[in-house]
Amino acid sequence: MALATQAYAARTLSRFAPFTGLDVEPLEELASATRVQHVNRGELIVHRGDRPSGMYLLVEGAVKLFLISSGGAERIVRLVGMGDSFCEESAFSNAAQTLAAQASCDSLVLFIPTRALQNAMQRSSKLGEALLTRLSERMSALVVGMEQCEQRSSMQRVAHYLVQHANRDADTPEVQLCTSKQTIASQLNMTPESFSRVLSRFAREGFIRTQGHRAIRLTDYSGLMSLAV
**Tens-place pLDDT, residues 114-127:** 999 999 988 888 88
User: DSSP letter at 81?
Assistant: P
- Tally of CB atoms within 10 A around 10: 19
Domain boundaries, the chain: 2-149, 152-228
CA distance 103 to 16: 20
Query: Is the bond leading into 18 cis (omega within 30 degrees of zero)?
Result: yes
Give the N- to C-terminal CA distance of the chain in Å, as an integer. Answer: 52
Mean pLDDT across the chain: 85
**Would the pLDDT of 131 be above 80?**
yes
**pLDDT tops 60 at residue 28:** yes
Instruction: Say yes or no: domain 152-228 is CATH 1.10.10.10.
Output: yes
User: What is the rounded CA–CA span in Å between residue 169 and residue 61?
Assistant: 21
Picking from 207, 202, 205, 204, the residue whose alpha carbon sits closest to that of residue 220 is: 207
Is residue 227 over pLDDT 50?
Answer: yes
- Mean pLDDT for 144-162 is 79
- As a whole number, mean pLDDT of residues 172-201 equals 84
Contact partners, residue 185, CB within 8 Å, separation at least 6: 191, 192, 194, 195
Q: Which amino acid is at 191?
A: T
Look up the CATH number of domain 2-149. 2.60.120.10
Calculate helix-pair angle for 24-33, 2-13, nearest 10 degrees: 120
Element (H, E) at 27: helix 24-33
29: left (phi over 0), alpha (psi -120 to 50) or beta: alpha
Positions of E strands within the chain: 35-39, 44-46, 54-60, 63-68, 74-80, 85-86, 100-103, 107-113, 174-176, 208-211, 215-218
**Sequence-separated (6 or more) residues with CB below 8 Å from residue 186:** 66, 74, 75, 76
Q: Averaged over 155-161, what is the pLDDT?
A: 88
Provide mean pLDDT across the span 197-215.
88
Domains 2-149 and 152-228 in one fold: no
Which one-letter amino acid corresponds to residue 131?
L
Q: Which residue has the higher pLDDT, 152 or 38?
A: 38
pLDDT of 3 strictly over 70: no
The closest of 33, 21, 13 to 129, measured between CA atoms, is 21
pLDDT recorded at residue 1: 37
Tens digits of per-residue pLDDT, 99-115?
A: 899 998 899 999 999 99
